[in-house]
Amino acid sequence: MFSERLKQLRIYSGASQKEIAEHLGITPNAYRKYEYGERKPSYDALIKLSDYLNVSVDWLVHGENDLAIGGGGDIEDCDYEIAVRISMLSEESRNDLEKYLSMLESRDAQMCQS
């Protein structure tokens, strides 16, 4: 559900409702209504939300297709929490994580050959 995804993304981003409301140019009360499912954001607000939270509009609205902007492949709901946390990392930290994943993949491949 949109409101649940929005709330969880906000929490993982470390942003307050007030901060996101300011980014959108709306009142905190108007933003709260998005998270409670009492109001739907405009198209422009959806774009701003997806940019701010670093997710695709499609994923934010439907929970389908690519989670991260410019990502590749579908993310299942059970995995999106990890993907959200990764998307909130700095570029440097994501690069470090990529190197670590490559090391783990190499180790696993070596163990399979043994």
Q: What is the pLDDT of residues 39-92, one digit of tens each?
A: 999 999 999 999 898 888 888 888 765 444 434 444 455 566 677 777 777 888
**Distance between CA atoms of residues 12 and 34, nearest Å:** 17
**Distance between CA atoms of residues 37 and 39, nearest Å:** 6
Shortest CA distance to 84 belongs to which of 99, 96, 66? 66
Q: Any idea what DSSP says for residue 90? A: -
Instruction: Give 110's pLDDT tier (boundaries 50, 70, 90).
Output: confident
Shortest CA distance to 38 belongs to which of 47, 29, 25? 29
Shortest CA distance to 49 belongs to which of 34, 39, 64, 33? 34
SS3 annotation, 9-48: HHHHHCCCHHHHHHHHCCCHHHHHHHHCCCCCCCHHHHHH
Task: Tell me the pLDDT tens digit for each residue of 2-31.
Answer: 898 899 888 888 899 999 999 999 999 999
Class of the CATH-defined domain 2-89: mainly alpha
